[in-house]
């Protein structure tokens, strides 16, 4: 087992898009397709795109831009005093934890909280509704979210609705982004954490990292700092991701989201840190019900450490939980190639159920390049 280690982790977990920010956030793919897949495709490593359920492939370059880039020099954000967040019991602890760990249906099923039902206009009730709708988005129920959130709904829910529209109608992305910018242009609304979180998620999907950071980098919540971690990993700037992680650790080192961000950074850094990332996911699996997110996290760590047999077993377990989960299918494509098995069935499933997935697009691009090369020498 690749989890065996004499190391002792002190990680204690008291608290984790496709959905909103999203979880929604980061897919785990170890991808070294090498010569088995339309020519060499090297240097692809696993990482979460989004802490909230939105994942994709990320080309790994060992922080090629380590020299300071003025465009990446940001002022240090203010760190909230953790003591101010401990004044009252956290009614949303369980709901947030389910959402962060990818237990979206459990988050929905356990969202009826008596104290919030009595006061539906409270900030906690609004956050509860946002998390529930983001869970529906993570499950692919975009139309339900679009239908239930009306034009008179508060700003955070309007932002969540825009995310559902963005993911459900690719040909209407421009209009969704235009509506999002209209909300962000309103000074009274632009500081809303959920609106900033959704803006960062959408611009991350657009691969417009500077625009995403414009709204997320000031931080203010663990969710925003976690999204910053994912953005910097996508930019191959693990040094900046580590700085964001340190801020999260100062706020709450044991929070589920902080521990997940720690695992993402460990995977981005690589080397001996992979084992530490594995231990984080292992602790999650011992404390909470297994989810596809946790199983994929463990599987990617195993693949990065060369243990493809255990990775395959973990991914099959994840596939049994959700036969259409895109990250599981994508990781199975990679893992199958490494263990010498056919990956065509998993790839075909991924193409049919998630045609816009990054792995599908890259495979199509590789095929086109291969065909052009053949024609050029024919």
Q: Would the CA dihedral through 73, 75, 81, 86 be positive or negative?
A: negative
pLDDT of amino acid 153: 95
Residues of the chain by 3-state class (helix, strand, coil), percent to 5 = 60, 0, 40
What is the residue range of 170's domain? 34-62+80-377
Instruction: Tell me whether residue 307 is in a domain.
Output: yes
Query: What's the token pair of residue 294?
Result: 């946790």
Contacts of 98 (CB under 8 A, 6+ apart): 104, 106, 107, 110, 135
Confidence of residue 81 (pLDDT cuts 50, 70, 90): low
Q: What are the pLDDT digits (tens) for 139-165?
A: 999 999 999 999 999 999 999 999 999
pLDDT of amino acid 182: 95
First CA to last CA distance, the chain: 49
Q: What does the alpha-carbon distance between residue 6 and residue 4 come to, in Å, rounded to a whole number? A: 7
Instruction: Tell me whether residue 22 is in a domain.
Output: no
- Residue by residue, DSSP assigns 332-366 as HHHHHHHTT---HHHHHHHHHH-TT-HHHHHHHHH
pLDDT greater than 80 at residue 263: yes
Which position has the token pair 């235009």?
178
pLDDT of amino acid 361: 87
pLDDT of amino acid 2: 53
Q: What does the alpha-carbon distance between residue 64 and residue 235 come to, in Å, rounded to a whole number? A: 10
pLDDT of amino acid 113: 85
Query: What is the percent of the chain with per-residue pLDDT over 90, rounded to a whole number?
Result: 64
Confidence of residue 22 (pLDDT cuts 50, 70, 90): very low
pLDDT of amino acid 5: 41
pLDDT greater than 60 at residue 47: no
Q: What does the alpha-carbon distance between residue 155 and residue 192 come to, in Å, rounded to a whole number? A: 8
Instruction: Tell me whether residue 70 is in a domain.
Output: no
Q: What are the pLDDT digits (tens) for 273-331?
A: 999 999 999 999 999 999 999 999 999 999 999 999 999 999 999 999 999 999 999 99
Q: What does the alpha-carbon distance between residue 85 and residue 92 come to, in Å, rounded to a whole number? A: 13
pLDDT of amino acid 109: 95
Q: Please state the domain count of the chain.
A: 1
Q: What is the rounded average pLDDT for all residues in the chain?
A: 81
pLDDT greater than 80 at residue 262: yes
pLDDT of amino acid 115: 76
pLDDT of amino acid 120: 65
The CA dihedral of 101, 107, 108, 109, to the nearest 10 degrees, is 130
pLDDT of amino acid 85: 47
**Within its chain, how far is the Cα of 65 from the centroid?**
23
Q: What are the pLDDT digits (tens) for 344-362?
A: 999 999 999 888 888 988 8
Query: What's the token pair of residue 26?
Result: 């980061």
pLDDT of amino acid 377: 85
- The dihedral region occupied by 236, where left means phi > 0, alpha psi between -120 and 50, and beta the remainder, is left
Phi, psi of 375 (to 5 degrees): -65, -35
Average pLDDT over residues 221-249: 97
Instruction: Tell me whether residue 129 is in a domain.
Output: yes
Q: What angle do CA 338, 340, 341 make, to 5 degrees?
A: 110
Query: What's the token pair of residue 114?
Result: 């008596």
Q: What does the alpha-carbon distance between residue 341 and residue 309 come to, in Å, rounded to a whole number? A: 11
Q: What does the alpha-carbon distance between residue 128 and residue 122 come to, in Å, rounded to a whole number? A: 10
Flag the least confident range among 77-81, 89-93, 151-155, 168-172.
Answer: 77-81
Instruction: Tell me whether residue 41 is in a domain.
Output: yes
Confidence of residue 88 (pLDDT cuts 50, 70, 90): low
Instruction: Tell me whether residue 17 is in a domain.
Output: no
Which position has the token pair 């075909």?
348
HSE (side-chain half, CA atoms, 13 Å) at 254:
7
pLDDT greater than 60 at residue 208: yes
Confidence of residue 23 (pLDDT cuts 50, 70, 90): very low
Q: What does the alpha-carbon distance between residue 242 and residue 268 come to, in Å, rounded to a whole number? A: 10
Average pLDDT over residues 30-51: 34
Q: What does the alpha-carbon distance between residue 17 and residue 19 come to, in Å, rounded to a whole number? A: 3
Which ranges of the chain would DSSP assign to H, the alpha helix?
A: 93-100, 104-109, 114-117, 123-138, 142-148, 155-168, 173-185, 193-205, 209-216, 222-234, 238-252, 256-269, 273-287, 292-304, 308-321, 326-338, 344-353, 358-377
pLDDT of amino acid 8: 39
Average pLDDT over residues 106-117: 86
**Hey, which bits of the chain come out as E strands?**
44-45, 58-59
pLDDT of amino acid 364: 86
Tell me the CATH number at 200: 1.25.40.10
Average pLDDT over residues 192-204: 97
């Amino acid at each position: 087992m690749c989890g065996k280690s004499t190391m002792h982790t002190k990680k204690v977990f008291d608290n984790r898009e496709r959905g909103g920010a999203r979880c929604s956030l980061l897919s785990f793919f170890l991808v070294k397709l090498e010569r088995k897949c339309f020519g060499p495709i090297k240097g692809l490593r696993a990482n979460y795109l989004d802490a909230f359920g939105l994942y994709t492939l990320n080309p790994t370059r060992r922080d090629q831009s380590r020299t300071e880039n003025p465009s990446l020099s940001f002022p240090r954000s203010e760190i909230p005093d953790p003591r101010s967040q401990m004044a009252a019991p956290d009614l949303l602890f369980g709901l947030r934890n389910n959402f962060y760990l990818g237990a979206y249906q459990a988050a929905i099923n356990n969202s009826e909280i008596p104290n919030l039902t009595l006061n539906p206009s409270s900030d906690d009730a609004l956050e509860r509704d946002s998390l529930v709708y983001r869970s529906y988005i993570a499950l692919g129920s975009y139309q339900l979210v679009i239908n239930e959130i009306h034009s008179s709904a508060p700003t955070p829910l309007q932002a969540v609705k825009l995310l559902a529209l963005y993911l459900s109608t690719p040909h209407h992305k421009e209009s969704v982004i235009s509506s999002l910018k209209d909300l962000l242009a309103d000074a009274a609304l632009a500081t809303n954490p959920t609106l900033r979180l959704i803006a960062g998620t959408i611009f991350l999907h657009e691969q417009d990292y500077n625009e995403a950071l414009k709204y997320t980098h000031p931080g203010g919540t663990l969710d925003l700092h976690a999204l910053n971690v994912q953005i910097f990993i996508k930019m191959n700037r693990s040094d900046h991701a580590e700085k964001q992680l340190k801020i999260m650790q100062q706020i709450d080192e044991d929070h589920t989201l902080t521990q997940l961000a720690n695992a993402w950074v460990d995977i981005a850094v690589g080397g001996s840190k992979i084992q530490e990332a594995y231990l984080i996911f292992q602790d999650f699996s011992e404390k909470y019900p297994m989810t596809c997110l946790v199983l994929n996290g463990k599987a990617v760590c195993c693949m990065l450490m060369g243990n493809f047999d255990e990775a395959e077993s973990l991914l099959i377990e994840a596939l049994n939980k959700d036969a259409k989960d895109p990250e599981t299918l994508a990781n199975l494509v990679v893992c199958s190639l490494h263990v010498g098995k056919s990956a065509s069935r998993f790839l075909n499933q991924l193409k049919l159920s998630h045609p816009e997935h990054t792995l599908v697009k890259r495979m199509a691009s590789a095929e086109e390049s291969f065909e052009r090369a053949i024609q050029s020498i024919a």
